[in-house]
Amino acid sequence: MKKYWIFVALVPVLMVAPCFAQTPKEHKDLGHVMLTPSQVQWQTGPASLPSGAQIAVLDGDPSQAGMSYTIGLKMPDGYRVPPHWHPMDASVNVVQGSFIMGVGEKVDPAQAQEMTAGSYMRVSKGVRHYEWTKGETIIYVYGLGPLDTIYVNSADDPRQKSNQK
């Protein structure tokens, strides 16, 4: 009977002990991403945006359908994106500066809302909107791909302008 109680007492210890074991140093979680602002690698913005923006892919792949992504967009003071929409929902955090967004197919500054650093917004797929910046502005955008920008007026699409040259 004494052996039985020793066994009963050891079972919980043996079950819990692995929970406190340390992971070997050579084991890395390849999906874990940590970046400081100085580690973000900015590149020329995508062809779908007016020139002047810079992009950094922080995680994932925004071009792949159904794949999660996080990107950073850095825009100069006074940067403007004409009315457009996206085929997928996206969440946006303002990291630096002021990001002003309005909803609709025509720019109406009176209807726009200024989002300063620390602000959050969710941009629903298909909703027509426009935006501009005050000061150098950085936003982080995350969602499921593919991320694309479709302009209300196709003449506003920078990809169309580059094809006409």
What are the structural domains, with CATH classification, of the chain? 41-164 (2.60.120.10)
Judge contact between 145 and 70, C-beta under 8 A.
Answer: no
CA distance 76 to 127: 24
Number of Cβ atoms within 10 Å of the Cβ of 7: 10
DSSP helix/strand/coil, 83: strand
CA distance 46 to 129: 18
pLDDT at position 59 is: 94
Between 161 and 104, name the one with better pLDDT. Answer: 104
pLDDT 10s digits, 2-60: 554 444 444 443 333 333 333 334 445 566 889 999 999 999 999 999 999 999 999 99
What is the Cα gyration radius of the chain? 24
pTM (whole model) above 0.95: no
